[in-house]
Amino acid sequence: MTTFNQLTPQQVAYIAGFLDGDGCVNAQLVTREDYILGFQIRVTVTFYQKTKRHWFLVWLQKKLNCGKIRKRPDGMSELTLVGVQTVQPFLQKIVQYLLVKRKQASLVLYICHNLSKKQSPEDFVRLCEKVDLIETLNDSKKRSIKAKDVKKHLGVDN
């Protein structure tokens, strides 16, 4: 598990401000044939920067000691933190400093806290509905799988 205790309070506040301005806190539904319920809730935190400032994302990755960086073909670079084991402790550390993305972070933390491998279909669908709420807060346009699709797949009426 990654810890972010080496960051100073000033660094934490700075990183939160950077995330508020040039980042995204997200959750998405992904089909997974190897999962009992057939779906995974994937949580991510992504930082964006023009590729000419790629060095900054490298610096941030070293500070956080986690994440993957990629250069996109559109002149942008991104640093992405993926998964509950990384995203949850990161958001716990910075949520108090977020302004713009605090609701998304709080919802992702709720999802992380309540996600379980032995989850009932009904409880999983309720978490999927939180994923849908994050979509509205992020003005997402590309999501293809929604809670209603999971409900239908699992035959859940709630």
Domain boundaries, the chain: 9-154
Quick count: other Cβ atoms within 10 Å of Cβ 34?
6
pLDDT at res. 158? 59
Q: How far apart are the first and last CA of the chain?
A: 35
pLDDT at res. 59? 96
In CATH terms, the fold of domain 9-154 is Endonuclease I-creI (3.10.28)
pTM (predicted TM-score): 0.93
Rounded to whole angstroms, how far apart are CA atoms 24 and 44?
8
Active site residue 22: yes
> Exactly one of 17, 20, 22, 149 is catalytic; which is it?
22
Rounded to whole angstroms, how far apart are CA atoms 150 and 157?
11
Quick count: other Cβ atoms within 10 Å of Cβ 154?
17
Query: Is 120 in contact with 94 (CB distance < 8 Å)?
Result: no
Active site residue 139: no
pLDDT at res. 105? 98
Q: What is the mean pLDDT of each run of 10 residues along the chain (158 residues)?
A: 80 97 96 88 97 97 96 97 97 97 98 92 95 90 86 83
**Rg for the chain (alpha carbons), in Å?**
16
